[in-house]
Amino acid sequence: MGIFDVGKKSDIIKNEDAFSYEFVPKVLPYRENQIQEIANAIKPLLYERKGSNLFIHGAPGIGKTASVKWVLRELEETTDEVVPIYVNCWNLKTKYFIYTDIANQLGISFTAGKSAEHVLHQIKYKLKNKSAVFVFDEIDKIENSNFLYQILNVTQKSCVHLISNNYNYILRIDPRIKSRLQLRSLEFKPYSLEEIEGILKERVKLGLRAGAINPLLIKLIANVTHKKGDVRVGLNIIHEAAKLAEYEGENRIKKEHVDKVIKEVSEKKPEEDSLNKDEHLILSAVKKKNGAISGEIYKEYVSKGGKLSYKSFKRYVNNLERLGFLKLEKTGGGFKGKSTRIYLKS
């Protein structure tokens, strides 16, 4: 028997997309209030006025992105007068990559190798006399938030929505930009156990054949998901258990399938905190040379694989001070001139 020989056919999964993190259902339960707030922030654009800028925050996997995408989808179906632009900054960490992504969404073609400012000029021209809503998801992953100042000048009739798992990200934004943005805060609180169970039941209806899983197993998965605080965990458990049952040629998901997937989930390491790779490297360098001047710590950071320029390194250090991880102390003048000593903050 070959490794790709198909055994008894099973059709437990009817729509695999329903369990994807990117999937946005037609009905998004338990986030009606937040959806309305996001919509209200955008509505002035429909009347050719400026919208409200939002900072949308809360733990991972509790509906922030899904809610925003739900609103953007409704906006697209309602009007052609407002251009919705969504950028996930997870892999787009510089303004050049962000501008290029926006340009692609707008159908702008340009020669590779052009500067970020050139791409931005093209975006401005494309959006001339138009309204736009800019959404930057995973905003805490970018290297420098200063690009937001340029985004605010793209068109007079716009609004900017920033999404982050980390409330403290707001402390990293340059005070001048923060003042210009005038961000309103919109917090997403974790789902209750009952809400998580309701969400999982709805996704099961969309994604699995009727009767493919016992409701008691959904309740078990909901309990595990509630402890993890991330609804994506529950979606993944159902999806993987369904694939396992199909592989074994079963017509229903059994408890042993669910138990096996839950065991694998429990053995995974907790998700990394909100700091990025360079921030971790800087903290590691400071830990080794606690109290050293910034130039010495920068050398230690580079020796650990850090790629930031010294200017960017100093900006990251200032951000880490704002977040409460570091303490900075200015030194007096000496033969090396003024410098800064960097300490881990206990």
CATH class name, domain 192-267: mainly alpha
- The residue ranking higher by pLDDT, 313 or 40, is 40
User: Is residue 8 very low, low, confident or very high in pLDDT (cuts 50, 70, 90)?
Assistant: low
pLDDT digits (tens, 9 = 90+) for 78-104: 999 999 999 999 878 899 999 999 999
Architecture of domain 277-344 in this structure: Orthogonal Bundle (1.10)
pLDDT recorded at residue 325 = 86
Spell out the residues 6+ positions from residue 156 whose beta carbon is closer than 8 angstroms to its own.
Answer: 50
Domain boundaries defined on the chain: 31-187, 192-267, 277-344
Q: What distances in angstroms separate CA 229 from CA 25, 149, 162, 190, 263, one per listed residue?
A: 20, 34, 22, 7, 17
pLDDT recorded at residue 90 = 83
Q: Which fold has domain 31-187?
A: Rossmann fold (3.40.50)
| CA neighbor of 100 nearest in space, from 130, 127, 125, 120 | 120
What is d(CA 308, CA 292) in angstroms, rounded to the nearest whole number?
Answer: 19
Placement of tokens 């009905």 in the chain: 27
Residue 283 has pLDDT above 50, yes or no: yes
Would you say 241 and 261 are in contact if contact means Cβ atoms under 8 Å apart? Answer: yes
Residue 56 has pLDDT above 80, yes or no: yes
Residue 75 has pLDDT above 70, yes or no: yes
Q: What distances in angstroms separate CA 88 from CA 98, 130, 217, one per listed residue?
A: 9, 22, 34
What is d(CA 44, CA 48) in angstroms, rounded to the nearest whole number?
Answer: 7
The Cα angle at residue 88 between residues 108 and 147, in degrees rounded to 5: 70
The H or E element containing residue 96 is helix 95-105
How do strand 326-330 and strand 340-344 relate by DSSP bridges?
A: antiparallel
pLDDT digits (tens, 9 = 90+) for 129-179: 899 999 999 998 888 888 999 999 999 899 999 999 988 888 888 889 999
Residue 335 has pLDDT above 60, yes or no: no
pLDDT recorded at residue 337 = 56
For 131-144, give one letter per residue: b (16+ CB within 10 A) or e: bbbbbbbbbbbbbe
Mean pLDDT for the chain overall: 89
- The residue ranking higher by pLDDT, 66 or 268, is 66
| CA neighbor of 199 nearest in space, from 16, 22, 12, 63 | 63
